[in-house]
Structure formats: C-alpha cells, structure tokens
Amino acid sequence: MMAVEQSCSMPLVAASTGETGYWTDLHWQPDVALRLFGMRRSGNHAIANWLQRNAPTGQALFFNNCKPKRAPLTHHQGIERNGLRLSRQNGRDLAALGASIGRGGLLLLSYEDVVPSDYTLDRPVSGDLDETFISGDILLIRGFLNWSASLTKKLQGNPDFSVSHRSAIVLRAIDSYRRMLDLAGQAGDLALTVIDYDIWVREAKYRADCLDDLGLPCVDNTLGEVQSYGGGSSFDGAQAGTDFDLATDQRWRQMDQNSEYQAILHLAARDEALIEVLTHHYPVDATRLVRLADYRPFTAGGLL
C-alpha cells in the first residue's frame, strides 16, 4: 500500500483489533478506512460524498483536505459525519465523535493536490499514522482539458490573484497532475484504486464496481447533490444542495475562447512528459494538444 503523509504532533499508537485497527484518538474501529488523493477540481467532494453515502452501517467520518506530513485527525480543513459538515466545536473532541458512531462504518481522509508518490517511508504523507490501519488508497483522476479549464475558471474568480499568479498556480498544478497520472499507470502494482471522474459521472455500473473494489456496499449509487466546497460550480451557477446535473465534460469548450486558458494550453502542448501520460490515459486530449503545438502562440509579426 502506498505510504501517505501526515504529521503527528501526537502519534497514533493503537493496538490493532481488526483489519483496520482501533483508532485510539477516535475511540473507534471503522470497517473500512480509506485515503482519497486528487487534484482540486477533479470532483473530490462529489466522490467523498458518494463514498459516505455508501458507508458500512450507514456511518461515516470524513476528514477533508488533510495536510500532508501531519496527523490527519488534527490537521485538516473540516470534518463531516454522514455527509453533514460539523462545526469546529463539534469536531474538536475526537474521542466523543468516534465513540458516538458505535461500531463499524467508514473513515475517509482526503488529500488535495498531493501526489502520494512524492512521499517515502522516511517522509510519509500521513506522518506517524500506522499504515496498516488504511484499507485502501484511492487516486482520483480527470481528463486534462476539462480539469485545467475548471481550475483556470475557478482561479479567475479570485480578484486577489493577478494573471501571473493564477497562471503560475495552474502550471504548477499541471506538473502535479502529470505525476498523478504517472502513478495511476502503476496502480495495479501498487494496490491503488483509480477512480476516473469522467467515467464516474457517466456510468452507474462503473460506480458500483468501484464500491465493490473498495469493500463498500452499494446503498446509494446516484451522483448526489452539488457540494458546497469551492462555492459549487464555477460554470453553471449551481448551488450546494441542488441535484448534480452539471455539464462537467464540456468545461474546455466553455473556455476555449478564453485567452488566458489558451496561453496555458499552448505551454502544456509543449510538455512532452505530459503528452506521454495523456496519450495513455486520455488520448483524445493528447491529440488535441499535439495539434495545438503546431501553431505559434503569436500571430504573424510577433511582437513587432
């Protein structure tokens, strides 16, 4: 199983009483404990909500956006219980929170923009967490053109970011995205479960098969509702709580006339390492980028 990082101010030390171990800080032993790794704007929260809705015994705890190299139970951006976000006060007493669940259920830890292969046994992604407590690691991937369009559009909504700042964030994210796809290509050898967001949205059978691979029951296999994280959809104006009916496969078409997005794509089209992994995972996106690389970004005359 891939080592992931968490930094522990208080190391998790537990006497294992089952496959996932007894999480001492939570006073709880879940049936399944999963880590979810995905780049932002890859459907992270839609997937997390779906996993919670299919938790064993109907009970789930979700620690959102955990900080790498730190203890995830104490270094995160929020907690949900059964899909409902807890206040800081209600999430502060971990022992009471875990004990209130009773026996079994799902523990889910998410990491955003964190590539687990960037970490090692000497520098674990989940800090001092006992790796034997983790039932499985999930890699969430999404097609490049729609992912990059969604990320660019989201960043353009932040008035504090200049064009240079936004572009730098996207380009750094593209390199992490490439490494995530590299890792997804080795998933079979590393016992990782890959969930392709694009297929997940389209195919109920694919969703059911993923649940089976993760050892979860298939209770609610719908797409659920739009989640509040990130302010809902950047494109459709869909708000949290509305039915998930978003054209997530059309994001690049909605951005293809945006000059900032075009400039980013011109650079991406010249990244040979990116094109190589896209050719394996998303060949249609790779073909479009390769064609784009045949065109000069400047019109005739350049800067003259």
Render pLDDT for 177-229 as a digit per residue (tens, 0 to 9).
999 999 999 999 999 999 999 999 999 999 999 999 999 999 999 999 887 76
Beta strands 79-81 and 84-85: pairing type?
A: antiparallel
The answer on pLDDT for 245 being more than 60 is no
The model's confidence at residue 5, banded by pLDDT at 50, 70 and 90, is: very low
The residue ranges of every structural domain in the chain are: 1-141+191-224, 144-190+247-304
The answer on pLDDT for 9 being more than 60 is no
Q: How is residue 6 written in tokens?
A: 């968490």
Range with the poorest average pLDDT among 12-16, 69-73, 110-114, 298-302: 12-16
| DSSP assigned state of 28 | B
CA–CA dist 290, 166 (Å, integer): 24
pTM: 0.87
Strands (E), 131-191: 136-141
Q: How is residue 24 written in tokens?
A: 């001492």
Region 48-64: mean pLDDT is 97
CA–CA dist 184, 190 (Å, integer): 9
**CB–CB of 146/248 below 8 Å?**
yes
pLDDT for the residue numbered 7: 30
Estimate to the nearest angstrom the gap between the alpha carbon of 159 and the chain centroid.
Answer: 25
